[in-house]
Amino acid sequence: MPARAGAPGRKDGGRPETPAPRPRRTPVPALSWLPPALLALGLGLWGLSLPLVDFRSMGDYGLLDRLPVPFHASLVVLTAGFLVALRRAGTSPGWPLVYCVGLLVALKAAPAVLYDSVRYPWASKHDAVVSTLLGAGELRPHAALSGNMSAYDQWPGFFALNAALVRAFGVESTAVYLNWAPIVLGLVLLPVLVLLYRTFTEDWRLVWTAVWIFQLANWVGQDYLAPQGLAYVLHLTVLAFVLRHFVRPGSAGRLRDRTALDPAATAVPPSTTTRQRAVGVLILSPLILAVNAVHQLTPVMLCAVLAALCLTRRHRNLGLLAVTGLIMLGWNLTMGRPLFLETLGTLKDSFGRLTQNSRAGYTGQLTGPGPELAGRAGIAMALAVVLFAGVAVLARRRLAHGALPLLLASAAPLPLFAVNDYGGEMLFRVYLFGLPGAAFFAAAALVPAAGSPPSPFRPSSSP
């Protein structure tokens, strides 16, 4: 039977036509050597810059005008290497992690390496408190208040922990490791941030960019050897656990449908039963108790965050909020009773005064050209983070809808401006507790939504 005219894939003789070979595409070089090379170069420049720092003749600007060109060049190289590593973050998330550790070292380790003495005066005070606790061998939570010094006995968890570390290490005091506290706390915080961000996105580029922004924008200076740094890590650990394991059944709606999500978003974690959430409360109770034993303000922030999460049906866990509030109230009426009652007496003068409570007071007021310049730079960075976060909330609404709990958790500390000024530091503490969510959404404004690399933990849908 003759072949039909114009039949595809046939020649005149009826034999199948051999398809013309496709032109070979030139493979894009992987450049797998570039991330380690840039990392080595960046850290090498940083190490080279330290002997050039003339820190013994520091003036009004401190280290700001003593850091040599190689130091600044190291930050540029580390940032460039981080951007290169982000291109393969979906299949090689290890390199962005290493770069985040490198940035942490570059930003925080220089004073620990250079300084012969304690960097922060308040850290010296905390070292003295630990030494006093070791010498006395007991707490005096109900001693007469003297410049709020008894607060260290009323919230002694941090100092008791360091007293145990001093004894365990066999050292004389915390001064041996005191200047390295920002590095230790930063390393401990890294996996907590990754766990928090992975709850809302499968795009490793977005996760590591958020971590990078968090490290750059965390300029508040609460990561030295102080109760706030440890309590902050515990606070974010509780938050990450709640967001992943306290999802009510039937509350996700379309957020479990991939077509309704942002391309980079992850589906809502599996829901848990009432019994599972009750077990979760038992697991979290020691952590919540530890937060109360370490710091007086962080439990209030934790209650505010859990209350904000109750605004969503997804994380409405009144039992957990009640347990957290009862633990805080129980601690304040027993161990922390003297300072707690004194603080209640001052609330009538500060409650509702938003403008006054949001200003930097005597403990947060910057003096001198160096601190003032650093403060203005920090404010500019904070405004930039908030601006980018706002752009992402408006431009990527599906991502903002899926990550609404994180958005609420970041905004939860804002009402505390109406309560107290916390010695002139409420502005900085609200910023600190709102930073994790702000960094995530700021990263979402910088990382494109389309073309997200596949996650190594999720199989590809292509054949």
* Half-sphere exposure of residue 247: CA atoms within 13 angstroms, side-chain side: 19
pLDDT digits (tens, 9 = 90+) for 396-446: 998 988 899 999 999 998 888 777 766 667 778 888 999 999 999 999 999
Contact 224, 181 (CB under 8 A): yes
- What pTM, to 2 d.p., does this model score? 0.85
What separation in angstroms does the CA of 450 have from each of 207, 258, 264, 414?
A: 15, 14, 8, 33
Give the pLDDT confidence score for residue 5 in this predicted structure.
Answer: 47
Residue ranges for the chain with pLDDT beneath 70: 1-30, 55-56, 58-63, 65, 119, 143-149, 256-258, 349-371, 374-375, 421-424, 450-463
What is the rounded distance in angstroms from the CA atom of residue 364 to the CA atom of residue 222? 12
Residue closest to 238 by CA, chosen among 278, 187, 167, 289: 289
Give the pLDDT confidence score for residue 256 in this predicted structure.
Answer: 67
Q: DSSP state, 31?
A: -
Give the pLDDT confidence score for residue 227 in this predicted structure.
Answer: 92
Q: DSSP state, 365?
A: -
Residue ranges of the alpha helices (H) in 87-180?
94-114, 121-136, 151-154, 157-169
**Other C-beta atoms lying within 10 Å of the C-beta of residue 320:** 23
Both tokens of 349, joined, read 């003068």
What separation in angstroms does the CA of 125 have from each of 121, 317, 355, 423?
A: 7, 39, 31, 17
Give the pLDDT confidence score for residue 463 in this predicted structure.
Answer: 34
Residue closest to 454 by CA, chosen among 303, 321, 266: 266
Contact 431, 379 (CB under 8 A): no
Both tokens of 130, joined, read 């630990």
Both tokens of 280, joined, read 């979760």
Q: What is the 3-state secondary structure (H, E, C) of 233-269?
A: HHHHHHHHHHHHHCCCCCCCHHHHCHHHCCCCECCCC
Beta bridge pairs of residue 201? 265
Give the pLDDT confidence score for residue 88 in this predicted structure.
Answer: 82
Beta bridge pairs of residue 16? 10
Give the pLDDT confidence score for residue 222 in this predicted structure.
Answer: 79
Contact 49, 89 (CB under 8 A): no
Q: Which residues contact 382 (CB under 8 A, 6 or more apart)?
A: 217, 431
Both tokens of 167, joined, read 């004894």
Contact 436, 193 (CB under 8 A): yes
Q: DSSP state, 68?
A: -
Residue closest to 249 by CA, chosen among 313, 319, 320: 313
pLDDT digits (tens, 9 = 90+) for 5-27: 444 444 455 555 555 555 555 44
